[in-house]
Amino acid sequence: MDILNRGLIDEAKKRHSTWKGSLNSWEKIVKGAAWKHFADVRLTLKNADGVGDCVVFNIAHNDARLIAMVSYEFQTVTVLGVVSHKVYDKGGWKNACNC
């Protein structure tokens, strides 16, 4: 899978050094994946949830959420945001996911 909007991941790593290891692991796993549908995502990363049109990944032992759109056809993961659990709970990201 190709990861688009990686800058959002880099920004999150700079702001939250405790997320860096988990985000690096997530990137490595996703780059090596060849998902054809959401079930494949769940086989690879059991902490992924389908939310509207997005896939939400738990990061850093449930401390953060990575919100992304996955195109199985084009083999891309577009990162929409990497936010703390507290920010995620406010729900501002939901419009991008058609929730």
b/e sequence 58-83, b meaning 16+ C-beta within 10 Å: bbbeeebbbbbbbeeeeeebbbbbbb
Domain total in the chain: 1
Q: How far apart are CA 33 and CA 16, in angstroms?
A: 26
pLDDT confidence band for 93 (50 / 70 / 90): confident
pLDDT at 99: 79
CATH number, position 24 = 3.30.2310.20
Q: How far apart are CA 32 and CA 15, in angstroms?
A: 26
Q: How far apart are CA 89 and CA 48, in angstroms?
A: 16
Domain residues for 65?
2-97
Q: What is the pTM of this model?
A: 0.94
pLDDT digits (tens, 9 = 90+) for 18-71: 999 999 999 999 999 999 999 999 999 999 999 999 999 999 999 999 999 999
Q: How far apart are CA 37 and CA 50, in angstroms?
A: 11
pLDDT at 98: 87
Q: How far apart are CA 16 and CA 18, in angstroms?
A: 5
pLDDT at 92: 86
pLDDT confidence band for 95 (50 / 70 / 90): confident
pLDDT at 47: 92
